[in-house]
Amino acid sequence: MEKGLNDTFPKDKKYTIIVKNDSVKTKLYSEDYTRTYNALLKGMSERKMRKAVQAVGSFWYTAWVNAGKPDINNFDKAKLSDETKMRLKDEENRWMAGK
């Protein structure tokens, strides 16, 4: 299906260029191309994504059950060392600065 679409879809409308920060350029498939491809696949991408979400949830649930179903409501109340608090604050600051 992809080969057929590539052969028939206008070459100048297949990709779009995204520019970020006036320098980073990313070449992506255009919205028209991806919509057409998705229609040819009859929504297969969405079905696979939904199955992946279900699988990840199942893995996490199984891990929680295998860990003895610990009470996760008290995790935020854990006592952290001063060093860990400083490291977490530093990581948060770097994240907020986009680093």
DSSP string, 11-56: GGGSEEEEEETTTEEEEEE-HHHHHHHHHHTTTHHHHHHHHHHHHH
Domain ranges of the chain: 1-43
pLDDT of residue 4: 92
Arithmetic mean of pLDDT, 54-65: 97
77 band by pLDDT with thresholds 50, 70 and 90: low
Average pLDDT, the chain: 91
pLDDT of residue 23: 78
Q: Higher confidence at residue 79 or residue 31?
A: 31
pLDDT of residue 7: 92
Structure pTM?
Answer: 0.53
